[in-house]
Amino acid sequence: SYRSSPSAPPSALPPKSPPPSCTTGANPPSLSPVYSAPPRRLLAPARASAANPSRLGRERERSAAAAAAMRIEEVQSTSKKQRIATHTHIKGLGLDANGTAIGMSAGFVGQAEAREACGLVVDMIRQKKMAGRALLLAGPPATGKTALALGISQELGSKVPFCPMVGSEVYSSEVKKTEVLMENFRRAIGLRIKENKEVYEGEVTELSPEESESSTGGYGKSISHVVIGLKTVKGTKQLKLDPTIYDALIKEKVAVGDVIYIEANSGAVKRVGRCDAFATEYDLEAEEYVPIPKGEVHKKKEIVQDVTLHDLDAANAQPQGGQDILSLMGQMMKSRKTEITEKLRQEINKVVNRYIDEGIAELVPGVLFIDEVHMLDIECFSYLNRALESPLSPIVILATNRGICTVRGTDMTSPHGIPVDLLDRLVIVRTQIYGPIEMIQRY
């Protein structure tokens, strides 16, 4: 019954209400309350996991295996990273087919008139009508004079040498002023040498030097030959090389996995780079990754070398590797900037002209950019007059931010600090100060 026992006080018992399923009337309610049983399908997974714990473990292993199969890896770029400098963004002059400047193009903002004028100069250079002349960029500081000069060199071609210098660089206590100017002139003249050579090219799969007893006697050993394995897309080859080539391999720091080529006639070794199959081997690597060579290991290949005339001058002025006492003493002494003689340059010019006549080499005139040209004195200007008429002369671009001022080394005043006889040879392009709209676009 619902009546409480007499031992318990009435206030201690909570009031009880009849369950909703009970009805008041003649029939007394049942003492057991009615519960609705939960659906069996909800309890099935819990009972299965409790009854069979290995099934839950298998499910966890399956999900972990699926997560391991779906790995996300970062793709390593095989392109060579280049340093970002002040004018790295300049890709050309930003002109259309008609020679009209496009608003924001090729890294340029504004300076439409100057860019169009430089485009005309580029057309004259291509038609070989700028011989004996030079270009002068005149304008206030920070108006893009250096960028225009670099844009001209980019329009002429990506492999065209570009040699920038400042007018104050010519003053040195070791070298004459005219020597510094001529050195930069030769730096701005490129030479593209093409040769057909028989080479062995491929990825190094094996590099094992073979030792033998020394011919001089004693307990020492010497390297008799080197066995090297080269692999290309078509096949592999094992080569037995002379021990002198092993020294060249060590000098080039060749290891297994590198792509190299060996000239068959001279035995010269050139390391091209690391095979791109090893691109994901390390994250921090200063390597240039190249694809595995196509074709056979032994092939005839056209090798193109880009050098400047100054590189040839420097290589012949200071030959290295002599075994006599004077050469060894010269290598140990402190290196001092040496002046290259005119006789040596004439000999190199003869060899270069012979290569050009035979079709082995091709002359690539570059761009010599002289900034702050008002810092040059009258001797340098007279030397420039003669150098512009030389058959081996680059495109000379001068830049200044001065108006009428005194020519250095004289008492006379002249526009831009340049003598009148040199001004007659110049094509002058003026740059303008950036306006507010161009400033907003620029920054």
Is the C-alpha dihedral spanning 45, 46, 51, 56 positive or negative? positive
Instruction: Give the number of C-alpha atoms closer than 13 A to the C-alpha of residue 311, restricted to the C-beta side.
Output: 11
CB atoms under 10 Å from CB of 387, counted, come to 19
pLDDT higher at 284 or 428: 428
Q: Single out the residue of 211, 205, 200 nearest to residue 243, CA to CA.
A: 211
DSSP annotation of 94: -
- Check residue 53 and give its pLDDT: 55
Q: Single out the residue of 119, 156, 88, 142 nearest to residue 431, CA to CA.
A: 142
Do residues 290 and 275 lie in contact, with contact meaning Cβ atoms separated by under 8 Å?
yes
**Strand segments (E) across 31-139:** 104-105, 108-109, 134-138
Gap between the Cα atoms of 351 and 320, Å rounded: 20
Over residues 11-27, the pLDDT tens digits come to 444 555 444 444 444 44
Across 149-176, average pLDDT? 86
Query: For a pLDDT cut of 70, what percent of the chain falls above it?
Result: 74
Do residues 401 and 136 lie in contact, with contact meaning Cβ atoms separated by under 8 Å?
no
Gap between the Cα atoms of 370 and 165, Å rounded: 5
Q: Which CATH class is domain 194-304?
A: mainly beta
Gap between the Cα atoms of 262 and 250, Å rounded: 13
Over residues 252-281, the pLDDT tens digits come to 888 888 999 888 888 888 888 888 887 776
Model confidence at 438: pLDDT above 90:
no
Do residues 221 and 230 lie in contact, with contact meaning Cβ atoms separated by under 8 Å?
no
> Residue 218: what residue type?
G
- Check residue 430 and give its pLDDT: 92
- Check residue 376 and give its pLDDT: 92
For 312, the enclosing helix (H) or strand (E) is helix 309-317
Gap between the Cα atoms of 152 and 334, Å rounded: 39
pLDDT higher at 19 or 135: 135
Gap between the Cα atoms of 199 and 194, Å rounded: 14
pLDDT higher at 194 or 212: 194
Do residues 429 and 420 lie in contact, with contact meaning Cβ atoms separated by under 8 Å?
no
Instruction: Give the number of C-alpha atoms closer than 13 A to the C-alpha of residue 301, restricted to the C-beta side.
Output: 20
Over residues 92-122, the pLDDT tens digits come to 888 888 888 887 877 888 888 999 999 998 8
And the tokens for 47? 């009972």
| Count of residues in the chain | 443
Model confidence at 188: pLDDT above 80:
yes
Domain ranges within the chain, ordered by starting residue? 104-188+366-442, 194-304
Q: Which CATH class is domain 104-188+366-442?
A: alpha beta
Gap between the Cα atoms of 246 and 269, Å rounded: 9
Average pLDDT, the chain: 78
How many angstroms separate the first and last alpha carbons of the chain? 92
Q: Pairing state of beta strands 189-213 and 361-365?
A: antiparallel
